Amino acid sequence: MAWASLVATKGKHEYRPRLRFLSGFVISGILKHFFIKPLLHQILVVCSNTGKLYSKEIGEKNMVLNIGEVVPEFELETSEGDMFRLSDLEGQWKVVFFFAKSGSPTCKRGCLSFKEQYELFQSLEPSVEVIGISQDTVQQHKKFKKELDLPFPLLSDQERNVAEKFGVPLHLGLFPSKSSFVIGPDNTVHHVYDWLFRPRKHVAQIISALSGDGGQ
């Protein structure tokens, strides 16, 4: 009897961890299926719709900087600690792109997409300069630029002063939009693009537009 009781007790103890594991697995599955997945889906839908809305609004009255308007002068610190002024590139074509955060996966892909095509930008007639801007600090940009070996300057706009001049919105009031502005030699805006999820396609669109402009 004592031996049988010991076996029975041992069996109970063996089953308890298994039951805990199974119940935890079931609860986790329920939460994932009924709560987490729908929530993530809603977030993606909202962000996607916000991006589409922003793309539709480009050039309309609610944007601060419209296509055809002159870009106001601005000055920001580079990742090297130098001061960059838009007028430094007067008479040149340039692409000013805004990204959300150094180190985020999408922003990494975006910066790398510009890097991959940088030589092509430079080979256009006339050549096109690329400038990246985010709210990151100079030190964060320095680290990020070194990590990705980026050939173009990164500018620190911590207070979003320049982003607001360009009319770059905050999605849901929190997440800076990933936007690019193609600026001509006369400092007027020729094209505006949003690159929420597809940075490579976005860069290809810019190159196509610039090739079509033919440096006019």
Count Cβ atoms below 10 Å from residue 65 Cβ, excluding itself.
Answer: 20
> In terms of domains, do 181 and 97 share one?
yes
Tens of each residue's pLDDT in the chain, 216 residues:
554 454 445 455 555 555 554 555 545 555 455 555 555 555 544 444 444 444 433 433 345 688 999 999 999 999 999 999 999 999 999 999 999 999 889 899 999 999 999 999 999 988 999 999 999 999 999 999 999 999 999 999 999 999 999 999 887 666 778 899 999 999 999 999 887 667 888 899 999 999 876 444
What backbone torsions phi and psi does residue 182 show, to the nearest 5 degrees?
-95, 120
> In terms of domains, do 141 and 169 share one?
yes
> In terms of domains, do 30 and 4 share one?
yes
Q: What is the CATH number of the domain that holds 156?
A: 3.40.30.10
Count of domains for the chain:
2
User: Hey, what are 3's tokens?
Assistant: 């031996």
> In terms of domains, do 3 and 97 share one?
no
The answer to whether 171 and 51 have CB atoms below 8 angstroms apart is yes
> In terms of domains, do 111 and 10 share one?
no
CA 161 to chain centre: 18
> In terms of domains, do 37 and 115 share one?
no
The kind and range of the H/E element at 44 are helix 37-57
Helix then strand then coil, % of the chain, to nearest 5: 50, 20, 30
Structural domain range at position 99? 61-213
Of 57, 81, 102, the domain-final residue: 57
pTM for this prediction: 0.70
> In terms of domains, do 52 and 65 share one?
no
Q: Express each pLDDT in 10-59 by its tens digit.
A: 455 555 555 554 555 545 555 455 555 555 555 544 444 444 444 433 43
> Nearest to residue 102, comparing CAs of 70, 140, 53, 131?
140
Task: Give the length of the chain.
Answer: 216
Of 18, 41, 57, the domain-final residue: 57
> In terms of domains, do 41 and 94 share one?
no
